[in-house]
Amino acid sequence: METQYHILIVDDDPEIRSLLARYLAGQGFDVSLAADRREYEKQTELRRPDLIVLDVMLPDGSGLDICRGLYDAFPHVPVILLTALKEDVDRIIGLEIGADDYLGKPFNPRELVARIRAVLRRAQQFEEPAPAGLVYRFGDFMLDPERRQVVRHSGEMVDLTGAEFDLLLVFVERPGRLLTRDRLLDLTARRRHDPFDRSIDVMMSKLRRKLGESEEGPIFKTVRNGGYQLTLPVLSEAAPR
């Protein structure tokens, strides 16, 4: 039986809200609706959502502003952005500020449900403690999959979004392997139907900046028409208790 995840739909289009409310309820989800930022705030005061489907353009503000402030209020609640097909800048900004996925309008509700389920699976892995296993050391960093943390040798924590952490984990689990963009989309459960999807490139750029990569200290290699490769050797060891 489908877990009763609570999905909050924030969109000013009444037809979209009505359609998604019926369709998601039929798929086993518990759905709440908000037409604007004011209603979003009321809904989240009443009940914490498990996932938010958020339109970028709202009548009383930007969905991107909601996304920016979401971490402080609900640090582990994932977000799927709804954007018009030509809003490439908004898509990129949304990914940079921590959105977990995006979907262009118009869209097929079945695709949205598939995205919701994929994002919820990743969020569940984030919140549920994993059995003690391995940590990975590479360069100046230690990555702990159980705690979902990346720490420098100095003890400084590297602040990564959930999607950025998933991407880095893919590389440290496959050291030295050249991974195409398509393969990275598959391995991080961020597969889209758009053959020109550039979300991996956006996240790689952010990941490189946050890890402090420089020409003198490369961490990743970009292979033209090939993909990306982690250049640092990786050591694995038992996680500290």
Query: Which segments of the chain belong to CATH 3.40.50.2300?
Result: 6-127
Provide CATH code, domain 134-238: 1.10.10.10
Query: Which segments of the chain belong to CATH 1.10.10.10?
Result: 134-238
**Distance separating alpha carbons of residues 80 and 62, to the nearest angstrom:** 14
Q: How confident is the model at residue 128 (pLDDT cuts 50, 70, 90)?
A: very low
Q: How confident is the model at residue 129 (pLDDT cuts 50, 70, 90)?
A: very low
Query: Can you give the pTM of this predicted structure?
Result: 0.55
Instruction: Name which of 3-7, 123-127, 216-220 the model is least confident about.
Output: 123-127
**Distance separating alpha carbons of residues 136 and 174, to the nearest angstrom:** 11
Q: At the top level of CATH, which class does the domain 6-127 belong to?
A: alpha beta
**Distance separating alpha carbons of residues 39 and 188, to the nearest angstrom:** 32
The strands making up 134-138's β-sheet, listed across from edge to edge, are: 149-152, 141-144, 134-138, 234-238
Long-range contacts of 93-96 (CB under 8 A, 24+ apart): 93/64, 94/56, 94/64, 94/67, 95/163, 95/199, 95/202, 95/203, 96/202, 96/206
